[in-house]
Structure 1
Amino acid sequence: MNSIISEGVQVSVETFYQPDYSNPVQSEFMFAYRITLENHNAFPVKLHRRNWQIFDSNGSHREVEGEGVVGVQPTIQPGESYQYVSGCNLRTEMGKMKGTYQMENLNNKQMFTVDIPSFEMIVPMKNN
């Protein structure tokens, strides 16, 4: 599990290869990832936007940006956490992702950026 704290919000990531949704013959490799956000601040925060940088091991890169996560813009109270699962498809057996969340301090309405740690996605048979 990769984890980082920035701006008082801890972001932890776990990844899982999805063989049932992958097709290696056609260079399609599906991964799921579970994100846990923990608010260590003394104020509630709201997640507004996400930005992902996705890298395949063949050198290709793409960016995904949009509102919220999995269709919601969660509010996380002080000392509480929010968890969700999403997915990413790669064209190679290995890749990595990193990114940021745009969040709001709900007490003073100030926006701030929270880092998402870089994490690898590797087909298990390649991880030897």
Structure 2
Amino acid sequence: MAPVSEVVGLLAEHRIGAVLVIDAAAPRHNTMWHDIAGILSERDIVRALGKAQSGGDVLDMTASQLMTEARYTVSPNATLAEAATLMTERRVRHLPVIEHDILVGMVSIGDVVKARLEQQTTEVESLKAYVVGG
């Protein structure tokens, strides 16, 4: 498993808040649901740093030592409301997207909020057009 110091670099480089921790023996492509060990987020790292004697101790740990188990997933066909509800009820900020037991992506709470705002904007514009046109 990758060291936390490497994960921190990935998070910063890609400007993301979490990564999936995949079993080292898993294939590079067509990662199966059972190959996902967990999710390591910025929050997991910050919490560990807050408890540690030294930041170096945390950075030398492996991703699997700090990760949160990935218990919840969504399908690509899930609605925004379904994803938002699952995230809210289960208090998670990231969900692996699984189709036919294969990992196809990951969605964050930020993705869901952004898509919902875009959806609402479209609905408002449609209603305005209907009222003005009607």
Q: Report TM bin, short chain.
A: under 0.3
Pick the structure with more strand per residue. 1
Q: TM-score, normalized by length of structure 1?
A: 0.27
TM-score (norm 2): 0.26
- Higher percent of residues as helix: 2
Higher relative contact order (CA 8 A, sep 6+): 1
Q: Which has the larger radius of gyration?
A: 2
